[in-house]
Amino acid sequence: MKKNVAFYTLGCKLNFSETSTIARSFKDEGFNRVDFSEKADIYVINTCSVTENADKRFKTIVRQAQKANSEAFIAAIGCYAQLKPQELADVNGVDLVLGATEKFKITDYLNNLSKNDFGEVHSCEIEEADFYVGSYSIGDRTRAFLKVQDGCGYKCTYCTIPLARGISRSDTMDNVLKNAREISAQNIKEIVLTGVNIGDYGKGEFGNKKHEHTFLDLVTELDKVEGIERLRISSIEPNLLKNETIDLVSKSRAFVPHFHIPLQSGSNDILKKMKRRYMRELYVDRVSRIKEVMPHACIGVDVIVGFPGETDDHFLETYNFLNELDISYLHVFTYSERDNTEAAEMDGVVPRNVRNKRSKMLRGLSVKKRRAFYESQIGTNRTVLFESENKEGYIHGFTENYVKVKAPWDPELINTLHEVELTKIDDDGLVRFEFLKILV
């Protein structure tokens, strides 16, 4: 009898790519993958530790697994498992906790699937996380997340990712291109490049300090891979987004005009306290350059509110900076203290209610920005890739520049590309369109 395994992923696109790779290793060992809501023999939870909420959600997800099968074997892997293995092992029902280097060898730890009286921990010192495991996600959606880089050498004062994932290291160029071809051979139309700090690509490509390729080299070579209709850069630091990369995207065959660039604060004082590697002036320069060569480009921004020492004036500086900037949407994070970070020891703690109020204000600004961006696209011709989900009788899709569209449900549209004219914004804020022609 084949054993059933189910997966739940918390956090980022990088985690999704790794879950998918780990799931394939289970398949190779003869396991059958089922949905997390179904009865399984093993439940694997890939954890995140970027925010407090991800930590809290872990216990809820464990309870979900126990509800589906009280006898199931439950394993926790990922960032939170590396940072606080014992905390996860102590959660009722958890049998196995694997850290940063062990998670890709999970099937080696499953000799016996009987429930443990306590969670068994296998977690390395993070200095040992110095080798690279390539990953990509397929089968879960109409696009694939392709991991090209892992870890981070930056020392941002609020961030635990270097503690959870280790030093910056990259996949080899040959392996990235091989994975991209494997993905395109499976009729997946879009690949999203992912990593912790993908602009740092090339560092640690050969497991040492040798540095043969850059991010520009990577995107140049990927653009030549046949069969990939779309390539999207997930998130790139402003100091690593070079003019040459922006120019390549503007002329590219496959790279789409969509950038997600973390800002974190519009105040230079706060950026210094965060130990970010740029000032706001550089950010303005990057946005201006993109809009100069691609006026229709979509630009998303990460921003953190309530960082220690952020006064009302600092926050208003950020709000006004973003309000005046030609960007398309925001991802707003409310600062939360993380153990073993510099920021957790800083003075000037911002009260929770103030953090929440600031967060709400920026989320409101994001709605306004997205609406203005969508309005600027009405009347233009765009290419839409349709998703696979039926949402209340509608199918959704995204244009190359990340405008979300909707149409009455039609399963024939799933994973197809169509040229359309964007016509109006619906009551729910999504965009309607007229079909022009089928592409693929």
Q: Which residue type sits at 50?
A: V
Number of other CB atoms surrounding residue 357 within 10 Å: 13
Task: Check if the beta carbon of residue 265 is closer than 8 Å to that of residue 318.
Answer: yes
Please give the Cα distance from 81 to 157 (Å, whole number): 21
pTM here is 0.90
Please give the Cα distance from 173 to 149 (Å, whole number): 11
Between these two residues, 52 and 92, which has the higher pLDDT value? Answer: 92
pLDDT confidence band for 332 (50 / 70 / 90): very high
Q: Which residue type sits at 130?
A: D
> What is the secondary structure of 402-430 as a DSSP string?
--EEEEE--GGGTT-EEEEEEEEE-TTS-
Structure tokens at 78: 């990922």
Read off the pLDDT of residues 62-85 as tens digits, 9 standing for 90 and up.
Answer: 999 999 999 999 999 999 999 999
The order of strands in the sheet holding 190-194 is 143-147, 190-194, 230-233
Q: Which of 10-14, 251-255, 324-328 bottoms out in mean pLDDT, i.e. has the lowest?
A: 10-14
The residue-averaged pLDDT of 26-43 equals 95
Task: Check if the beta carbon of residue 21 is closer than 8 Å to that of residue 139.
Answer: no
pLDDT confidence band for 438 (50 / 70 / 90): confident
Task: Check if the beta carbon of residue 402 is closer than 8 Å to that of residue 343.
Answer: no
Please give the Cα distance from 260 to 329 (Å, whole number): 9
**55, pLDDT greater than 70:** no
How far are the Cα atoms of 191, 332, 400 from residue 297, in angstroms, in the given order?
18, 20, 9
Whose CA is closest to 147, among 123, 118, 180?
180
**119, pLDDT greater than 60:** yes
DSSP-derived letter for residue 72 is -
SS3 at position 66: helix
Whose CA is closest to 283, among 305, 260, 306, 304?
260
Task: Check if the beta carbon of residue 103 is closer than 8 Å to that of residue 81.
Answer: yes
Read off the pLDDT of residues 224-256 as tens digits, 9 standing for 90 and up.
Answer: 999 899 999 989 999 999 999 999 999 999 999
The residue-averaged pLDDT of 356-378 equals 98
- When the pLDDT of each residue in the chain is averaged and rounded to a whole number, the result is 92
pLDDT confidence band for 203 (50 / 70 / 90): confident
Please give the Cα distance from 236 to 301 (Å, whole number): 10
Residue 437 CB contacts under 8 Å (≥ 6 apart), including other chains: 418, 419
**140, pLDDT greater than 60:** no
